[in-house]
Each structure stands twice: as structure tokens, then as C-alpha cells.
């Protein structure tokens, strides 16, 4: 594994301790000048589960109760927000509550946290479009804008539904997640193993409209973070359903992701098909997600040789992240990874720390070295 894993984890703990002092109820989202302090967002965003998730990983790693206490503070904030917004909060209820309330229940057995995660799963299910067989990504459920849109990111929200069904929630939660995964496989995956970022359906008839993108360079380009979501998301779908199509989709996504990397490159560009001349902006968060996804894929493989291939590539990505993108607290960088890219087309967070990049980096390290994971 990474040569100085102990030092990497020590730095992660130090970074968390440094950040706990000022986050309060504000959620680290994307840094500004590598400072989360400057880039904090008080409102609940799609990323609001990553910091409590990171805290739960640290709690599971070292047992320090301060991490659990701070994670619960975030959970309470999310709970209050859910009461106000319900199903109108968006499809990222999976990111938000699987990594907070579900993680709380996983590591402490807190029954109130379990009920909160089940409630969030119920709200997520209300975003399901029966005719189209998909979970609506964005917008309030009584509005028309984006009413028929799905995005590849949502594959990472499905574990909340799968888990809830297993935990005594309605059996239809499993069926909703299963059908959305099949819809995503049918319409987001291209023949060559790359993925569209978005796809639109007619929300009334369920008929297809066509693909698009929100954060990629173009409709037909391969947004690197989206490809990473596909690797991990379909591996998790296979984990919960054991449907071979999902395992094969994760494999194809992984093979294509690795094929698109140039030479010894391990940190991908923000989009594999970015314009010529735009060679400088990378996305460390995509590499962190891909590493965690490859490790999950390795765990789901029945073939030891296949598992070894995926795990080896994951380790190389973690080594590159350590060597090229690890934050320096001595330089005032308030995170785990630099060179994350949030939303290049909108000019947001092009070369910064990202809360999701930090989370998946730590998850990959702990998954590989200690078997600790929330997913």
C-alpha cells in the first residue's frame, strides 16, 4: 500500500481537528484559496453529508468521541432541514443522510439516527417517476423545470434506498433503486463504456428526450468525476442486488477510465475531452472517488486476479494523490486534497479542496488499510 499510510492518516486527523474548531453548523463545501474557512456555506447543500461522513470514519478509526459529537451536530442540522424541505430537497438525500444518520446508526446503534435515515429514504422515494423508471435529480417535485432529468451522480444515492429496504422500510424502496439503476445503465452509459452526465425524459409520458451535461465540457465528452461515480455507483448496485449487469457496467466504466488516463497519469483532467490547450485543471476528487470505487469493485469480484488488478490501480491512484495533491497544513491548506475541481464550466472551484474529494480519499485509505467504510 502507500508507503507512509500512517503519516497520511495522521495528517487527515490533524486536518479534521483543525477544521472542527470553526465549522460549527456551516458545512465545508469547496475551499477558497485552499481555505474551507473562507469557502464555508451555512446553508445545506448537496455536499452536507461529506463532512459528517468524514468525522464518522475518523471515529470508527480511532474511537475519539469528539468526532461523533461533532458529526451529530451536523446530523441535527440536516434533520431540521429535512423537516422543512422533505422530498423537495433533491436526490442527494443519499449523500446527505447515508453518510450522516445511517453512519451514526452503523457505528453507534443510535435508533433515532436509524429512523432519520429511513425517513430520508422515504422522501427520496417520493422523487421517483413511475412511468420513466427514474428518480428525478433536481427541483421541487411540484415544479416543471428539470422534472425529467437524471444524472450519473444519483447512482451514489441509491444505497440509502437499498439499505432502508433491508432495514424494514417498504420493499418498494429496493425496487425503485433497482429500476433507477437499470434506467441509468440503459440511457447514461455509451457503447464504449463512457457515461453521459445527464439524460432527460418527458416527465409525463416517461418517453426519452436525450442526453446532456451540466458539469462536463459537452454532451458527448467524458466528465471524469461522472465516470468515477459510475465505477463506484454500479459496483454498489451490484453489491446490493447481485445483478451481473451492474458488475459488468462497473468493470467497463473502470476499464474506460483507466484507458483514458494519459501515460503515467493518475490524477485525471476535469474532463477527458476538454478543449485542446486546456491542460492544467485536474480533478483530485475524481481520482479519490475512482480509487474508492475500484476498491469496492475489487471486493465484489469473484475472480482474485480481477480483484488484484482493480486494487492495484486504486493503490497507484492513492500514491499519486499523496505525492501530488496532499494538503499542507503548514501552508494553511485546510483540507486533505488540493487540485479538486467543482464546476469548471461555471467557473466554480477550479483548483481547490472539495469536501467530497476529502471524504472519498479518506474512505479509500481506510477501506484499503482497515476495512472501514460507510458504503
Q: Which residues are annotated as a binding site for substrate?
A: 92, 153, 213, 225, 229
The C-alpha cell at 331 is 501552508
Q: How far apart are CA 292 and CA 306, in angstroms?
A: 16
Give ∠ CA 193-221-140 in degrees, rounded to 5. Answer: 95
Contact 300, 239 (CB under 8 A): yes
Half-sphere exposure at residue 31, Cβ-oriented, CA atoms within 13 angstroms: 25
Q: Return all residues near 14 (Cβ < 8 A) that are at least 6 apart.
A: 329
Among candidate residues 17, 92, 110, 142, the one labeled active-site is: 92
Tell me if residue 264 is catalytic: no
The C-alpha cell at 228 is 468515477
Q: Where are the beta strands (DSSP E) in 85-185?
A: 128-129, 134-135, 149-151
Q: How far apart are CA 246 and CA 228, in angstroms?
A: 15
Count CB neighbours of 40 within 10 A.
20
User: CA-CA distances (angstroms) from residue 320 to 214, 270, 346?
Assistant: 28, 16, 27
Among candidate residues 17, 110, 153, 271, the one labeled active-site is: 153
Tell me if residue 153 is catalytic: yes
Q: How far apart are CA 261 and CA 267, in angstroms?
A: 8
Q: How far apart are CA 99 and CA 59, in angstroms?
A: 13
Sheet of 208-212: strands edge to edge? 149-151, 198-201, 208-212
Q: How far apart are CA 156 and CA 159, in angstroms?
A: 7
Helix (H) or strand (E) holding 233: helix 224-241
Q: Which residues are annotated as a binding site?
A: 92, 153, 213, 225, 229
Residues designated as active site = 92, 153
Amino acid at each position: 500500500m502507500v508507503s507512509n499510510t500512517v503519516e497520511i492518516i495522521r495528517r487527515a486527523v490533524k486536518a479534521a481537528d483543525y477544521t472542527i474548531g470553526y465549522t460549527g453548523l456551516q458545512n465545508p463545501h469547496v475551499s477558497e484559496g485552499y481555505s474551507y474557512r473562507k469557502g464555508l456555506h451555512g446553508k445545506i447543500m448537496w455536499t452536507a453529508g461529506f463532512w459528517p461522513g468524514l468525522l464518522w470514519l475518523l471515529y470508527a478509526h480511532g474511537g475519539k468521541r469528539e468526532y461523533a459529537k461533532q458529526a451529530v451536530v451536523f446530523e441535527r442540522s440536516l434533520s431540521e432541514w429535512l423537516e422543512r424541505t422533505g422530498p423537495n430537497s433533491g436526490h442527494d438525500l443519499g449523500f446527505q443522510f447515508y453518510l450522516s444518520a445511517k453512519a451514526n446508526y452503523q457505528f453507534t446503534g443510535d435508533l433515532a439516527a436509524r429512523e432519520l435515515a429511513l425517513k430520508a429514504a422515504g422522501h427520496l422515494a417520493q422523487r421517483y417517476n413511475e412511468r420513466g423508471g427514474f428518480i428525478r435529480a433536481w427541483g421541487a417535485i411540484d415544479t416543471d423545470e428539470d422534472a425529467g432529468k437524471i444524472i450519473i451522480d444519483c447512482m451514489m444515492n441509491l444505497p440509502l434506498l437499498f439499505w432502508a429496504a433491508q432495514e424494514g422500510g417498504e420493499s418498494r424502496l429496493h425496487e425503485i433503486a433497482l429500476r433507477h439503476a437499470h434506467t441509468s445503465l440503459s440511457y447514461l452509459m455509451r457503447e464504449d463504456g463512457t457515461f453521459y452526465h445527464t439524460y432527460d425524459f418527458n416527465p409525463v409520458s416517461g418517453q426519452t428526450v436525450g442526453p446532456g451535461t451540466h458539469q462536463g465540457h459537452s454532451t458527448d465528452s467524458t466528465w471524469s468525476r461522472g465516470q468515477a461515480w459510475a465505477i463506484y455507483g454500479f459496483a454498489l448496485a451490484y453489491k446490493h442486488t447481485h445483478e451481473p449487469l451492474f458488475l459488468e457496467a462497473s468493470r467497463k466504466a473502470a476499464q474506460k477510465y483507466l484507458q483514458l488516463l494519459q501515460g503515467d497519469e493518475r490524477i485525471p483532467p476535469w474532463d477527458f475531452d476538454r478543449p485542446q490547450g486546456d491542460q492544467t485543471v485536474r480533478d483530485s476528487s475524481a481520482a479519490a472517488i475512482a480509487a474508492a470505487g475500484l476498491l469496492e469493485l475489487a471486493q465484489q469480484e469473484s475472480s482474485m486476479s480481477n480483484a488484484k488488478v482493480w486494487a492495484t490501480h486504486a493503490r497507484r491512484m492513492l500514491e499519486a494523490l499523496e505525492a501530488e495533491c496532499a494538503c499542507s497544513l503548514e501552508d494553511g491548506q485546510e483540507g486533505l486534497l488540493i487540485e479538486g475541481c467543482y464546476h469548471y464550466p461555471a467557473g466554480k472551484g477550479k483548483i481547490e479542496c472539495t469536501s467530497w474529494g476529502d471524504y472519498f480519499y479518506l474512505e479509500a485509505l481506510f477501506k484499503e488499510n482497515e476495512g472501514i467504510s460507510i458504503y
